[in-house]
Amino acid sequence: MYIPFDQLPPHARLWIYQASRPFTEAEQAEIKPMLERFASEWSSHGTGLQASATLLHHQFLVLANNESATSASGCSIDSSVNFVRELERQFGISLFDRTRLAFLQNDEVQLVPLSQLKDKVSAGEIRENSLYFDTLVNNLGELQSAWPRPAGNSWLSKYF
């Protein structure tokens, strides 16, 4: 069962997929109904999930489920991964590359290869207060209150 993203409870579980490039306006217009359709049909062992999906900052695909109503099972998570892989294929974009980190700089998402992180920190280009899109955020409340968050308040704190 589809629930509008902003109507899910704060404890709703999230899966965040970072795109290798921004989605164009045309792609977003095409993807949004696909997301709603997937969330409407997403189920766990035959029981519909109270789910939603959205695109954020033109760069992130977010799937969500109200786990207190029905938990996502391994099979339902597999179906979501298959859905995301199909979006990758259809739009020629990577959504599973975890080797690039996303920061908000000058109101735009900037991707930084993980291999360059130490150098960028040393050069002062990335600081503790640089806003980081932590894809490890796992519930809606955290997304709404601390996303993006200062890099120093994430797993990146060890670099400062």
Separation of alpha carbons 24 and 16, rounded Å? 18
Give, for 25, the enclosing helix (H) or strand (E): helix 25-41
pLDDT value of position 71: 66
Q: Output the pLDDT for position 130.
A: 97
The per-residue pLDDT for range 58-108, each reduced to its tens digit, is 999 999 999 767 767 677 888 999 999 999 999 999 999 999 999 999 999
- Cβ atoms within 10 Å of 76's Cβ, excluding its own: 19
Q: Residue 139 and residue 67: Cα distance in Å, rounded?
A: 10
Please choose, from the candidates 138, 141, 117, 151, the residue with its C-alpha nearest in 3D space to the C-alpha of residue 72: 138
Helix H or strand E segment including 44: strand 43-44
Give the number of other CB atoms < 10 A from CB of residue 11: 13
Percent of the chain with pLDDT over 90: 84
Q: At what angle do helices 25-41 and 74-91 cross, to 10 degrees?
A: 160
Task: With CA atoms as reference, report the closest residue to 132 among 116, 156, 106.
Answer: 156
pLDDT exceeds cutoff 70 at 44? no
Q: What is the pTM of this model?
A: 0.92
- The per-residue pLDDT of the chain, averaged, comes to 93
Q: How far is 159 from 76, CA to CA, in rounded Å?
A: 36
Range with the lowest mean pLDDT among 40-54, 64-78, 109-123?
A: 64-78
